[in-house]
A and B are shown apart, each in its own frame.
Chain A
């Protein structure tokens, strides 16, 4: 085993541990995440598997395939976060608006 493989496997393991410990606990999410981690470890241990998938898809090198998939994944992640951010903005605005109305001060009556 090369040192980099050990490092990557440790990173994957740390991710799984962190996720299971701290973040959401829906069974489906956990399962999905676990499968992804196992796939990652498999790719690390047997880079030739990724290469054969890449060749099948017409990419050539396994590493290139992972970069393409990774970037696509990141793009989706970014979109998702952006959408959520906007939703949070809407809620925050609604909250601030209600607060402002609660604290509204009317002008003193003239005369």
Chain B
């Protein structure tokens, strides 16, 4: 593989953590070990997440109260940009992503082929097969909804792994505090005319992440939120 022209520390991994005290350290450890800069925003957790972050090797920020994943991610990205991040990676705090996928996510950016790279669990056969059937149905439904709302046809939806160039990270500003940010990002990619690509990511479905993953059912709320917003603005 060609040597990367930029130092690893200029790549910032942005993590939004809400009550992830049990797993957050093990999620951060490999990222820090590989030399990435890591920014974690504790989104007003009520467990020991904040204490777990101490000494984790990550920048740690804390919202005074819970605002939602989109808001925490935006705080993390905005802070990373202030620390001169050249690339920003969105990475879920619950351990469902693999740090091994980061080079693949970043490659289209480093090659100058894209401004935003979206992770997809439907590009590689082995990733696809890891997705439980019910999950697959919901996700494909979400792909359709995203297409209706944003005009972007992707292979995956609500995949928290994304990579952005500095310019894209500056221009995409999340205003949806909740889970609607996943669709909002697509809307902004479209409106700002950013170049995007998809890259394969594996999703680890652990009992833990599946329990947390109930959030996928918020999809309906998300849809209503975005719809109301469209009507109001």
A103–B232 alpha-carbon span in the complex (Å) = 35
Q: Is the interface of A mostly helix, strand, loop or mixed?
A: helix
A107 within 8 A of B: yes
Q: Of residues 68 to 107 in A, which have CB atoms within 8 Å of B's CB atoms?
A: 79, 82-83, 86, 89-90, 92-93, 96-97, 99-101, 103-107
| Interface pair A100/B59, CB less than 8 Å apart | no
Point out the residues of chain B lying under 8 angstroms from A90, CB to CB: 175
Q: Given the interface contacts A83-B232, A89-B177, A90-B175, does A100 sit within 8 Å of B64 by beta carbon?
A: yes
Q: Scan B78-90; emit 1 where CB is below 8 A from any A CB, else 0.
A: 1100100000000
Chain A interface size, as a band, is 20 to 34
**Among the listed stretches B67-75, B96-104, B126-134, B204-212, which one makes contact with chain A, having 4 or more residues with CB under 8 Å of it?**
B67-75
Point out the residues of chain B lying under 8 angstroms from A92, CB to CB: 67
B222 within 8 A of A: no
Question: Which of A79, A92, A107 has the most chain B CB within a 10 Å cutoff?
Answer: A107
Question: How close is B82's CB to chain A, nearest CB, in angstroms?
Answer: 7
A107–B38 alpha-carbon span in the complex (Å) = 9
A106–B40 alpha-carbon span in the complex (Å) = 11
A105–B42 alpha-carbon span in the complex (Å) = 12
Point out the residues of chain B lying under 8 angstroms from A100, CB to CB: 41, 61-64, 75, 79
Partner of B59, one of A96, A99, A107: A107
| Interface pair B58/A107, CB less than 8 Å apart | yes
- B82 nearest CB neighbor, chain A only: A101
Question: How close is B225's CB to chain A, nearest CB, in angstroms?
Answer: 10
Point out the residues of chain B lying under 8 angstroms from A86, CB to CB: 232
Question: How close is B59's CB to chain A, nearest CB, in angstroms?
Answer: 6
| Interface pair A104/B74, CB less than 8 Å apart | no
- A105 nearest CB neighbor, chain B only: B60
| Interface pair A104/B61, CB less than 8 Å apart | yes
| Interface pair B41/A93, CB less than 8 Å apart | no
A90–B57 alpha-carbon span in the complex (Å) = 31
Known: A96-B75, A107-B38, A108-B55. 10 other contacts (CB 8 A): A89-B177, A93-B67, A99-B63, A99-B64, A100-B75, A104-B60, A104-B79, A105-B54, A105-B61, A106-B59
* 24 A-B contact pairs sorted by A residue (CB < 8 Å): A82-B232, A83-B232, A86-B232, A89-B177, A92-B67, A93-B67, A93-B71, A93-B177, A96-B63, A100-B41, A100-B61, A100-B63, A100-B64, A100-B75, A101-B78, A103-B61, A104-B60, A104-B79, A105-B54, A105-B59, A107-B57, A107-B58, A107-B59, A108-B57
Listed in ascending order, the chain A residues whose CB lies under 8 Å from chain B are 79, 82-83, 86, 89-90, 92-93, 96-97, 99-101, 103-108, 110
